[in-house]
Chains A and B, each alone.
Chain A
Amino acid sequence: MLRLVDIRKSYRVGPTTREVLQGIDLEVGAGDLISIMGASGSGKTTLMNLIGLLDRPTSGACFLNERDVSGLADDELSTLRNAHVGFVFQSFHLLPRLTALENVCLPLVYQGLRRMEMQQRAHAMLTRVGMADWGQQRPGQLSGGQKQRVAIARSLVTEPTLLLADEPTGALDADTAAEVMALLLELNEQQGVTILIITHDPLVARRCKRRLRIHRGTLLETEHRAASVHSGQPTRSGPEATAAPADAQP
């Protein structure tokens, strides 16, 4: 579904260039639930921006449903982002001026849907994340956990191929974080939504079937449980391996 081949990304910092990603290979299958951990500065946000089609690699190829998207024009990337990628951010990134329902409608606006249809779909998605009664509230009137639920509804309203979550529980307290995490797991297990979570929280990572670690611009596979999409088994608490060279990329 999503395949990265030898992705490299470098930035020019003054006279020197810094290679943030040094040859990333990754294959994401439909229904996967993947976590990527890494220290700050390890390149995880850069990787997420590349996977989310917000940024383009310096070299390497990125295939989305077997189509090479690494060289596409900005407009095409926007359209693909809209159709295939849902974003969930640490700080929610809801638009404060809009109501929850309008926030969820936002990706549909760029698909050119009729207002009625947008609102129906947005409402259905708010219902799905347990926020049906909060549609007319603005983000300022919602708690952190509620905001993140609305954000999750917004990310899923276009029925994307991939949900990208960047520290989705990073701004939440432990209980709320657990609730949001449970919602993501449920969506993955019951609806088969493919989810990629970037986190530095081992508790979050531990609940994912497949765990990766990014270290100095390279990606290491730490654990890959061969779980079927709808297994829904409770995770066994495997050790948070620092590295698993044997499993590392080829």
Chain B
Amino acid sequence: MTPGSRSWSRLLAVLRGNAREAIDSLRKARLRTVLGLIGIMIGISSVITMVSLGEIAKAKARKEFEALGTDILVIRKSFEGAEAEAAINVPDALALAPQTPSITIAAPRISGYGSFQYAGKEVGRGSLQGVSASFLRVNKLSLQEGRFISDLDVDRYYCAIGAGVADSMRAAGGRQLIGQHLEIDGTLFTIVGVLNEAVDNYALPVQVSANESVFVPISTAGRVVANAEIDVIIARSAAGVHYRAATADVNAYFQSRSPDLKLEVVTAQELIARMEAQMRIMTLLLGAVGSISLIVGGVGVMNIMLVSVAERRREIAIRRALGARRRDIQSQFLIESVILTVAGGVLGIILGLLATWGICRFTGWDYLISGASLLSGLGTATAVGLFFGFQPARQAARLDPVTGLQGD
């Protein structure tokens, strides 16, 4: 038997004995243990709840972006120090994608507002959007029937209608909508396609609102909409292109075409990055709020342990007389505080998950358990036990056995 293996087996046996002792002692001091548990439980559960809610909110926002694609760019004329004269012209906008390698597709839009009349009845009010064929793909829209606006429909009075408009028309008695006429502010358009129901992404700075819209060729819109001007270009960048590079390319392209024009380019990647930075701060803040209650719980544990040490001065002295080393005593009290905080931590995690679940149910968010928050909850509980148990344990280890034995 080497001294090494011997001291290891001694250490293990002492730790095992200490753990049993610690549990026993916690069970005997029931009220104190329960109070300590409650403190840690509340602390850990608030950390878990706060961090989980942060994660859930982040996941929700991310999911909204991903539905639309993270490669999207929204290009608009900047009104900052605006030269009202300069505008994005249609040919330049349509040539953006073919002329710029980092942009795979670009869809300019001219939008107006109008009242839609069918068979003498108003079937809706919404936006009249002048678009190119690429608009369908850029916004991941799809067709129920017919076709979308084509680039060959220049100046034609064709339209594709949103699902909501189509429903209103059907409610007004319309059958076989393709080929029917829709009157928009006095102009008749022939319906060539009906879109499927689409979901808007509120994370982006532009809303398509496809369901309540009517899409017409961009050239036609230039005629029928008052003060027609491209209000936005929705584009997508090529795979693997950083949003800053794509933004720079777009700016350079328009700079070469119309030097007076000032653009504002917002990218989904940038929005995501910005949002994630905000979420991180938010999560940190929430975590900090939770941590405060955890610190309060930790101080409670420290207090409990200090009382426990003071109460057991005699026991400590007896153990020392019987051959316990300082670190045996120290580990006994450290184990006791860690058991206390980890037990509180487990309860806190359960409580935190329940609270998160409840909040998710109430707000209708998707509930998710992040493994990281569980692990960090347990890790934090252990760390709190070690940190706040250290000073009491050290105090216990340093008690002088001689005075401890005298104090009868």
Contact = CB atoms under 8 A, between A and B. Distances in A.
Interface in A92-123: 93, 95, 97, 106-107, 109-114
A68 to B, nearest CB: 20
Contacts of B28: 97
Given A78-B320, A97-B24, A154-B322, A109 B402 contact: no
Contacts of A106: 319, 322
Instruction: Select the residue from A45, A54, A83, A112 with max chain B CB neighbours within 10 A.
Output: A112
B136 interface: no
A233 to B, nearest CB: 33
Nearest to B28: A97
B12 A112 contact: yes
A229 B11 CA distance: 38
B314 A109 contact: no
A74 interface: yes
Given A109-B17, A112-B11, A95 B315 contact: yes
Interface in B1-42: 6-7, 9-14, 17, 24-25, 28
Nearest to B406: A45
Instruction: Select the residue from B28, B319, B323, B406 with max chain A CB neighbours within 10 A.
Output: B323
Interface in A53-95: 54-55, 74-75, 78-79, 81-83, 87, 89, 91, 93, 95
A87 B317 CA distance: 12
Contacts of B17: 109
A20 to B, nearest CB: 12
The size bracket of the interface on A is 20 to 34
A111 B315 contact: no
Nearest to A76: B325
A49 B314 contact: no
Nearest to B321: A87
B295 interface: no
Contact of A93 (B10, B314, B326): B314
B167 interface: no
A49 B400 CA distance: 11
B323 A112 contact: no
Given A95-B315, A95-B318, A112-B9, A107 B323 contact: yes
Nearest to B8: A112
A74 B321 contact: no
Contacts of A114: 13
A217 interface: no
B7 to A, nearest CB: 8
Interface in B373-408: 401-402, 405-406, 408
Contacts of A109: 13-14, 17
Contacts of A43: none
A52 interface: yes
B248 interface: no
Contacts of B6: 112
Interface string B306-332: 000000001100111111111110000
A54 B408 contact: no
Contacts of B320: 54, 78
Interface string A153-172: 01000100000000000000
A95 B408 CA distance: 13
Interface in B48-81: none
A54 B323 CA distance: 10
B396 to A, nearest CB: 14
A112 B322 contact: no
Given A81-B322, A82-B322, A110-B322, A54 B14 contact: no
A13 B321 CA distance: 25
A83 B322 CA distance: 9
Interface of B: 6-7, 9-14, 17, 24-25, 28, 314-315, 318-328, 401-402, 405-406, 408
22 contacts: A54-B401, A54-B402, A74-B326, A75-B325, A79-B323, A82-B323, A87-B321, A87-B322, A91-B408, A93-B318, A95-B315, A97-B24, A106-B319, A110-B10, A110-B14, A110-B319, A110-B322, A110-B323, A111-B13, A112-B9, A112-B12, A158-B323
